Chains A and B, each alone.
Chain A
Amino acid sequence: MELLIRVSEGLDRVIVKIGKIAAWAGLALILLTIFDVVTRRFLVLGSTKLQELEWHFHVILFAFCLGYAYLKDAHVRIDLLRENLSERTQWWIEVAGCLLFLLPYCALVVWFGIDFTERSFSNQEISASATGLTHRWIIKSAIPIGFAILALSGIAVLLRKTVELFGPEELRTKVHEIEEAEVEHLVDVVPPELRKPDDGGPR
């Protein structure tokens, strides 16, 4: 059981790290778009390459953050009935969901995604536009890789739920604490220090 926790923690660290690095693609995307807009207006540069690079960043951003979002529990759930279920039932649902839905779904996309990328590689696929980017297979590989990361995050969740369902009490609490610490409350958008305006706002 200890081992399961350690493995899930290891997976977690790697996946979250990847997600946090990929998040910076968002900044790159914005800077690139601005650069494209400005240069097109004032200089006449071919911007096809830039525009293609823009969606390259978009692909990186979402593909590498799927698993990250699952670990941070940022994926939308329909909570209506869930709240009335016991914790144990919720854990079982999570296990069933991972085994029956998430993992097969990822396996499928990874399987065909590798095929998809390989075809692109062996055809030496390049942009349909003459001035576009080459080596399309590199960015296409982001899809199977992203789904593989998502599958790993599913495995990490699965291991935790196994400990919670079958493990001894103290490990169960430990996992629970780990999970609690990880959840990013997306709706908690206003940090406490900013909830009130600082220039003589209502107190």
Chain B
Amino acid sequence: MDFYIEDYLPLFMFGALGMLLFSGYPVAFVLGGVGLTFGFVGIYFEVFNFIQFFNLLPRIWGGIAENLVLTAIPMFIFMGTMLERSGVAADLLHCLQVLLRRVPGGLALSVTLMGTIMAATTGIIGASVVMMTLLALPVMVQRSYNTPLATGTIAASGTLGILIPPSIMLVIMADLLARSVGNLFVAAIFPGFMLAAFYMFYILVLCGFKPQLAPPLPDEEGPGSTFGIIAMVLKSFIPPLFLVFLVLGSILFGWATPTEAAGVGGAGAIFLALLKGRLNFTILKDVLERSALTGGMLFGIFLGATCFSYVFRALGGDDLVIGLVESLGLGSWGLLLILMGIVFFLGFFFDWIEITLIVLPVFSPIIAELDFGDHVAPLEVTYWFAILLAVNLQTSFLTPPFGFALFYMKGVAPPEVRIQQIYKGIIPFVILQLLGLGLVMAFPDIALWLPRVLLD
């Protein structure tokens, strides 16, 4: 067989990307630059034409700009940022703590609940883990909570947001896989709640047996009277919960498209801040600017990834990947496990934004050909795959020694919290994650049942 180096350019391209990303130069521009460079390499080998770069523009236009699905993303980012900045999130956590003060591990449970309800944070792992750490960890340390338990709970609950809708990651996955965002949201509900339930069950059992790990809050914490507690619930608990249900419900029951629901969420967050009396020009301006920066960052990677994957394809990357995979001679299950393994490994180094935007376009031809016979109906394979991917990524972010949710946490935790304690605390949660992943794999209906019932 003849060996032509130009046949393998896509592989070099991938290798170059992998190495250059570690230079610490912004991911968005490395993606664009590597795409560009290999376009020129392709021109040198006469397998690419300069004029082909023009095709980038219609792709950027059709894929990113004129795309009403992605229009939801800036509004979801705004909603999360507004809820955080206006203190709605902090009040919610405090309210949950007071409500659960007599339950074993009440603080830890309230952190998990908060992570589940407030999954609509900015969707950037770093930001949500940091927010949860800043809000909850000092209180837990002060109440002499067992440190590994506290850090494990916060890291696991803080990353739950990428799975539980309305998650920005799911919007992007649906867009890249050409599937309905609403369906994917609905499919993620049970797996997300299942994981949250696992966490809570674990915390309850552990703290039931070993109460010394999680000393309860004193009774004088929060309002003393029943009336005071009811008032607090009405003020801090019901409004954000209502907002999340409004956003999710309107998608679930088909009242609104995800984009419209995002608009409702954004306006609702402004309204909640207004109710709290914390809405003023400074906060609004600040939230808008922060959201714009987050959006600029995210769409910067989107643009770079468009450039990269276009050149990758033009150089024959798709065929190369499919050829390589076929030469492995694995069945669908083997392929699934390999893909999952790759994504898990990538999750040690990259955030979901890079992973989904680089990996999904490359692997989507393979995903389309997966066939699981009676296990999963062919039409539903993509949704199932996306959910598996989401749970897998979340697990990867939590797994020591690399899982970078843990690094973010270490960065803002009080200095007496050691990284070993964080590692120790996360292990039970990683086991729970793997259990959840295995269950969704073995019983696809955990993800696929609800969309079937609700949306057909």
In the complex, what residues of A have CB within 8 A of residue B242's CB?
none
**Do residues B33 and A102 form an inter-chain contact, with CB atoms below 8 A?**
yes
Q: How far is the CA of A194 from the CA of B277 in the complex (A)?
A: 13
Judge if B54 is at the interface, Cβ distance under 8 Å: yes
Q: How far is the CB of B96 from chain A (nearest CB, A)?
A: 11
Which B352-409 residues have C-beta < 8 A from chain A? 353-354, 408
**Do residues A190 and B94 form an inter-chain contact, with CB atoms below 8 A?**
no
Judge if A181 is at the interface, Cβ distance under 8 Å: no
In the complex, what residues of A have CB within 8 A of residue B353's CB?
76
Binding stretch for chain A, among B256-264, B321-329, B332-340: B256-264
**8 Å CB contact of B408 from A20, A37, A187:** A187
Q: How far is the CA of A79 from the CA of B404 in the complex (A)?
A: 11
Judge if B208 is at the interface, Cβ distance under 8 Å: no
**Do residues B54 and A77 form an inter-chain contact, with CB atoms below 8 A?**
no
**Do residues A189 and B75 form an inter-chain contact, with CB atoms below 8 A?**
no
Interface membership of chain A positions 53-80, coded 1 if the CB is closer than 8 angstroms to chain B and 0 otherwise: 0110111011101101110101111111
Known: A26-B75, A34-B267, A189-B81. A54 touches B135 (CB 8 A): no
Q: Which residue of B lies closest to A197 (CB)?
A: B94
**Do residues B78 and A104 form an inter-chain contact, with CB atoms below 8 A?**
no
Q: How far is the CA of A108 from the CA of B304 in the complex (A)?
A: 12
In the complex, what residues of B have CB within 8 A of residue A105's CB?
29, 32-33, 35-36, 304, 307
**8 Å CB contact of B288 from A27, A33, A69, A197:** A27
Judge if B156 is at the interface, Cβ distance under 8 Å: no
Q: How far is the CB of B402 from chain A (nearest CB, A)?
A: 8
Judge if A188 is at the interface, Cβ distance under 8 Å: yes
Q: How far is the CA of A70 from the CA of B300 in the complex (A)?
A: 10
**Do residues A30 and B266 form an inter-chain contact, with CB atoms below 8 A?**
yes
Interface membership of chain A positions 191-203, coded 1 if the CB is closer than 8 angstroms to chain B and 0 otherwise: 1001111111110
Which B208-267 residues have C-beta < 8 A from chain A? 217, 221-223, 232, 256, 259-260, 262-264, 266-267
Q: How far is the CA of A137 from the CA of B370 in the complex (A)?
A: 41
Q: How far is the CA of A69 from the CA of B296 in the complex (A)?
A: 6
Chain A count of residues within 8 A CB distance of the other chain: 76
In the complex, what residues of B have CB within 8 A of residue A90's CB?
24
**Do residues B36 and A68 form an inter-chain contact, with CB atoms below 8 A?**
no
Judge if A31 is at the interface, Cβ distance under 8 Å: yes
Q: How far is the CA of A194 from the CA of B74 in the complex (A)?
A: 24
**Do residues B291 and A34 form an inter-chain contact, with CB atoms below 8 A?**
no
Which B82-114 residues have C-beta < 8 A from chain A? 84-87, 90-91, 93-94, 97
Which B277-331 residues have C-beta < 8 A from chain A? 284-285, 288-297, 299-301, 303-304, 307
Judge if A97 is at the interface, Cβ distance under 8 Å: yes
- Tell me if B's interface is mostly helix, strand, loop or mixed: helix
**8 Å CB contact of B27 from A19, A76, A187, A196:** A76
**8 Å CB contact of B78 from A30, A101, A112, A190:** A30
Known: A100-B33, A189-B127, A202-B139. A61 touches B74 (CB 8 A): yes
Judge if B428 is at the interface, Cβ distance under 8 Å: no
Judge if A184 is at the interface, Cβ distance under 8 Å: yes
In the complex, what residues of A have CB within 8 A of residue B66's CB?
55, 59
Which B400-453 residues have C-beta < 8 A from chain A? 408, 411-412
Judge if A159 is at the interface, Cβ distance under 8 Å: no
Q: Which residue of B lies closest to A97 (CB)?
A: B25
Judge if A85 is at the interface, Cβ distance under 8 Å: yes
Which B23-62 residues have C-beta < 8 A from chain A? 23-30, 32-37, 53-54, 56-58, 60-61
In the complex, what residues of B have CB within 8 A of residue A200's CB?
222-223
Q: How far is the CA of A109 from the CA of B350 in the complex (A)?
A: 26
Known: A23-B291, A97-B30. A197 touches B91 (CB 8 A): yes
- Residues of chain A touching chain B, judged by Cβ–Cβ distance below 8 Å, are 19-20, 22-24, 26-27, 29-34, 36-37, 51, 54-55, 57-59, 61-63, 65-66, 68-70, 72, 74-82, 85, 90, 93-94, 96-97, 100-102, 104-105, 108-109, 112-113, 115-116, 139-140, 142-143, 184, 186-191, 194-202
A-B contact pairs, 24 of them (CB 8 A): A26-B75, A30-B266, A30-B267, A33-B263, A55-B71, A58-B67, A58-B70, A59-B65, A62-B299, A65-B293, A65-B296, A70-B26, A75-B26, A76-B26, A77-B24, A79-B24, A101-B30, A105-B35, A186-B126, A186-B294, A189-B122, A189-B290, A190-B135, A201-B94
> Which A-B residue pairs are the 4 nearest by beta carbons?
A101-B33, A33-B263, A82-B24, A65-B296
